[in-house]
Structure 1
Amino acid sequence: MPLTDFFARKPEFEIFALETADLPQAAAIHKSRFTHAWSDGELHSLLIQDTVFGFIARQNNAYTRPFITQPFVGGFVLSRVAAGEAEILTIGVDPRFSRLGLGWRLMRAALREARDQAAEAVFLEVDETNAAAIALYRKLGFAKVGERRAYYQGVNGVKTGALVMRLDLG
């Protein structure tokens, strides 16, 4: 382990409501995680809908270094609620901040908000090859309720299936 690791502070994040000013950073994270990334304009067209909400994780201890002028965004989640059901539209965590629990915290914020908006169940789709995301969703209590074959297309043209997962909030 390099000596510098002993002097580096672990990044700390707080969860905030996603706002339009956050969308360029959210789009950059989405691009780093998904083959078919959504632009900040596409994210904006979703976020301005009455039924859509989201959260963002911002590093709150980044200002300890004088050359950093704004906090790092570690991840975001975008969701919607309609007719008593919620859907996780997308979630992404910056690869630099993987395995710090940000996905868990972002999902918990989205689930709380969905419950507050009277959703009885939450649905999501996940690439069947994304073992880390599937493990997170299962840990949160989601269960597989369906499949969509050849739903996602990778960079190399290989298609993978999507698992449809559900969590009852009742």
Structure 2
Amino acid sequence: MSFELAAPEFLPMHARDLDEVAALEAHLQAFPWTQGHFADSLTAGHSVWVLRSGSQLIGFAVVMVVLDEAHLLNIGVDARLHGQGFGARLLRHVMTVAQRHGAHRLFLEVRPSNDRAVALYRHFGFREIGRRKGYYPAQTGREDALIFDKELA
């Protein structure tokens, strides 16, 4: 499905965005972050962003920066807009923001079953550096997480 969208813009996430972001996350994930998780990220001072076209929420990202490293904690794009480059735009944005905050490397975890995300990260030059056994809840037990990193230069 394709939408006519006004020029999308990255905005810092605020408390007023939490309901909408949590609802989008719930549509995207079988085991979503709650509104409380996003609120905790705001309170902790993480770099938390929304991508909007006018009033329409396109996506969001949560990045934790500690010293010279960053960790992408969560990222999502409205499923109706998948395949239109918004995930790539969000990823580029968070990499830039992490660099501006002094990070030299970005880490993330991803489900091996999330082929679209794995392909996106590999396209951006992320490399698989490990695996966390049983990291994610799954419909039948637990699913591993692939650990990726990328040097931010």
TM-score above 0.5, yes or no: yes
Per the alignment, residue 121 of structure 1 pairs with 105
The 2-side partners of 1:19 and 1:100 are apart by 25
- Please tell me the residue identity of whatever aligns with 1:78: V
Instruction: Report Cα offsets for 1:41-65 as digits up to 9, x if no partner.
Output: 2211111213x012211113xxxxx
Q: State the alpha-carbon separation in 1 of the partners of residues 123 and 10 from structure 2.
A: 20
Give how far 1:86 is off. Answer: 0.1
- The letter of the residue matching 1:168 is E
Alpha-carbon distance in structure 1 between the residues aligned to 2:13 and 2:91: 13
Aligned residues: 152
1:109 positional shift = 1.0
- One of 28, 37, 48 as aligned partner of 1:33: 28
The Cα RMSD (Å) is 1.7
* Structure 1 unmatched ranges of 5 or more: 61-70
Structure 1 CA distance for aligned equivalents of residues 133 and 36 of structure 2: 29
Consecutive unaligned residues in structure 2, runs of 5 or more: none
Q: Percent of counterpart pairs with the same letter? A: 30
Counterpart CA distance in 1 for 2:11 and 2:81 is 17
TM normalised by structure 1 equals 0.83
Q: Who wins on radius of gyration, i.e. which is larger?
A: 1
133, 146, 152: which one aligns with 1:163: 146
Question: Distance in 2 between the 1:9 and 1:116 partners?
Answer: 32
Q: Does 1:53 align with 2:47?
A: yes
Cα distance change of structure 1 residues 159 and 114 upon mapping to structure 2, 3 Å threshold: same
